[in-house]
Amino acid sequence: MLAASTMTRMDTNKEVAVPTVLITGIEPFDGETLNPSWEAARQLDGSIIAGARVVARQLPCVIGKVVGVLRHAINEVEPDLVICLGQAGGRSDVSVERVAINVVDARIPDNEGHQPIDEPIVEGGPAAYFSTLPIKAIVRDLRAAGVPASVSSTAGTYNCNTIFYGLAHLIATERPRLRGGFVHVPYLPEMATRHPGAPSLALDVLVRGVKTMVATALAVNQDIKLGAGALH
């Protein structure tokens, strides 16, 4: 049975549950005017993917507020699945994150000028949480769809990791039937022109990738075994 859903009436007058997927992206930060995570997410707002209704919400790059904004969006949308996207300038592929850690160690100030260092996201919370998405099946299907992808075992220690840990803590403590995780995406080409040598992915490729993530996460309950580790 689905945790939350939109109800659609069929010709038989029976109500069938339609899953709802929340996709989040982040506002621009660090002097950028775009954030590829939000540009991809907003393209899909209101769409239907694999029979599920998609709702997109933008999150702030404000470490002390972002988890509260995410919580509000989840309470408003009541999704079955949450996929949070974030920018990872310098990465060459779509990075499906494996683990969130309970620390903020901000290399740069956030959009309100705050720069927490060595602070917990949740005081007294577990050291880490694993994603509840089928991360390796997602990577497999992204590659099959022509989208470069890999499993990542570090979501950083900035706003993105804060989002990921906040989501995972909410799932673990309050919403055990909700599934969710975090995915980093590279710069868009127009952003990479201001960062010589930085890799990028076109927006249409990112959007195709997000559609693939949603479809796989809805279809796969038990993740696959796939060698996707790293030596360092």
Catalytic residues: 97, 160, 184
Which residues, other chains included, contact 167 with Cβ-Cβ below 8 Å and sequence gap of 6+?
70, 82, 84, 100, 180, 181, 182
Q: Which residue has the tokens 């683990």?
A: 99
| H or E element that contains 3 | none
Which residues, other chains included, contact 63 with Cβ-Cβ below 8 Å and sequence gap of 6+?
104, 106, 110, 114, 116, 158, 159, 162
Q: Which residue has the tokens 């209101």?
A: 46
The number of residues in the chain equals 232
Q: CA-CA-CA-CA torsion for 118, 119, 125, 129, nearest 10 degrees?
A: -60
Is residue 37 classed as helix, strand or coil in its secondary structure? helix
Angstrom distance (rounded) from CA 98 to CA 185 = 14
Number of CB atoms found within 10 A of residue 119's CB: 14
